[in-house]
Structure 1
Amino acid sequence: MTAFLNWLARLRHSFAPAPRIGDGDWQAMLAASALFECLSAQERALLRELTSRFLARKTFSAAGGHELTEQQCLAIATLACLPVLHLGFDWLAGWREVIVYPGEFRVKREHHDERSGVVTEGEDDLIGEAWERGPLILSWTDVATDLEHPFDGFNVVAHEIAHKLDMLDGAMNGVPRLPAHITRRDWIAAMQPAYDALLRAVERGRDTLIDPYAAESVEEYFAVVSELHFSDPTMLHGAAPAVSALLERFYGPPDSPGNTSV
């Protein structure tokens, strides 16, 4: 009976009307970062609707002694909805929780070497993490920095939401669930050669425009270039023009000071 009541409560919550974001709060949110300046009035209205639904459907909690405020929740929700502005809210399905730390957080890792079979344990300091069907975990310090400096090549929320999109089809492999106008062949034809070129450059010790961390795996490459799509699209276009064009088709035009498409 308890399980049924919990299920019924979740069902009612899923159909509850999204809370309205007050005009003052929304205008303050948009004014908090130049990231939103290039959005059209229609896109801002749609982003507000998506953000309201995010606040209604997701739960927020603080960790590591962080004091979470309503304004911080609004900021994170807005940033999380920006990547799905042209995709739709259902692309954020499959998970419910956002956990916010004050800054970097430490996690334990197990690494399995496929060649030797050896498993080693260690700890990593992270600013963001996305679990399959689990929480989105963020450092508030880094979220706030991304809002203050939106075009410096970093956007931790966009990076982690890219991972969430990658998980939607059940396999975290650098190929997210795709909209009807993009085929899997289109995706791989643009992404794979660019990833392979970055990997070769990193292995040879060459300097790269794209963060070498993107060479860790195809899924990290997708997350890093997604981050760049929102935070430094000009650099991404110069470094990987085919990837830049593909992400414009996937996410929509980047919102940067030089963008005049809206």
Structure 2
Amino acid sequence: MILRAWQSFLSRFRAPVPPVDDALWRQAVARVPLARALDAPRLHYLRQLSALFLHTKRFHALGGAELDAFWMLVIAMQASLPALPRGPKAFKGWTNVLVYPGEFNVKRSHHDARDGVVTERDDTLIGEAWDRGPMVLSLSDVKLDVEGPWDGFNVVVHEMAHKLDMLAAPANGVPPLLPGMNRREWIATMQGAFDALVKQVERGRHTAIDPYAAEAPEEFFAVTSELHFSQPALLREAAPKVAKLLASFYGPSPAG
């Protein structure tokens, strides 16, 4: 089924999708434990999706970032991991990947409808995903995630989770689900776990899940997606129902 869907998708391109160079692929797999831990069929499909990602996305090195073919492939691989169950459709709706050397600043404006006051602030970020816009990444944090793959953090997975969330509507923590998954169950489970985390954070309690997940339901989905891929045991202990849902949504975690 996956092979037929892949062939059907590739038939839409007038020019074939260039394959990933063998030597470069071996080098990347050796350096990226999340990929190395996959079984042979999923690793083979990851290579195909990574090639498609590189073919359809435009990389832009900003602020002096040194971005070569190896690191573009590493980003493509980690963005393709959450896409494995749904294939090329996961990459719809956006084109550009902006890569800074490290943290970057984003200016935010907020309009208070009650009093009409507009306030501005600068946020320092390591990653961001815009609806119908680019994925923005800190290269230094991508490198940290490669060196520490099982610590519960992965900026590319986090931003790709947002992109999946945005496939049908603005991000709200309820991405388009796979056939057979129950939308009501997803909403009830994720919202219940999010509400419980918010209460813990408001009471000043220590939380196993990063408190940033309490910012909004869409951030809860993205943060727990990071845990699914890089620290699933912690997620199973902290939110077992969420862990089970994400295993159905993404497939088995490379971390076991």
Look up the match of 1:24: 23
Distance 2:12 2:241 in 1: 42
Distance 1:150 1:41 in 2: 20
**What amino acid sits opposite 2:124 in the alignment?**
D
Q: TM-score, normalised by structure 2?
A: 0.92
Distance 1:255 1:176 in 2: 21
- Asked if residue 41 in structure 1 is aligned to residue 43 in structure 2, the reply is no
- Asked if residue 213 in structure 1 is aligned to residue 212 in structure 2, the reply is yes
Look up the match of 1:90: 89
Distance 2:91 2:130 in 1: 13
Gaps of 5+ in 2: 1-10
Look up the match of 1:249: 248
Distance 1:117 1:190 in 2: 37
Overall identity of the aligned pairs, in %:
54
Bigger shift: 170-179 or 204-213?
170-179
**What amino acid sits opposite 1:22 in the alignment?**
D
C-alpha displacement of 1:112: 4.1
C-alpha displacement of 1:202: 0.6
Change over 3 Å in CA distance of 1:18–1:108 after alignment to 2: same
Equivalent residue of 2:168, what SS? coil
Distance 2:16 2:168 in 1: 28
Equivalent residue of 2:254, what SS? coil
**What amino acid sits opposite 2:104 in the alignment?**
F
Equivalent residue of 2:97, what SS? strand
- Asked if residue 158 in structure 1 is aligned to residue 178 in structure 2, the reply is no
C-alpha displacement of 1:119: 3.0
**What amino acid sits opposite 2:239 in the alignment?**
A
Look up the match of 1:73: 72
Q: TM-score, normalised by structure 1?
A: 0.90
Look up the match of 1:196: 195
CA contact 1:13–1:57 (8 Å) conserved in 2: no
What do the CA deviations read for 1:101-144 (whole angstroms, capped 9, x no partner)? 00001110123456665431010111001011111110000001
| Structure 1 vs Structure 2 CA RMSD | 1.6
Look up the match of 1:169: 168
Look up the match of 1:149: 148
Distance 1:177 1:233 in 2: 22
CA contact 1:214–1:224 (8 Å) conserved in 2: yes
Distance 2:200 2:135 in 1: 31
Equivalent residue of 2:176, what SS? coil
CA contact 1:14–1:57 (8 Å) conserved in 2: no
**What amino acid sits opposite 1:148 in the alignment?**
E
**What amino acid sits opposite 1:173 in the alignment?**
N
**What amino acid sits opposite 2:57 in the alignment?**
K
Distance 1:115 1:249 in 2: 42
What do the CA deviations read for 1:79-110 (whole angstroms, capped 9, x no partner)? 10000112211111100110110000111012
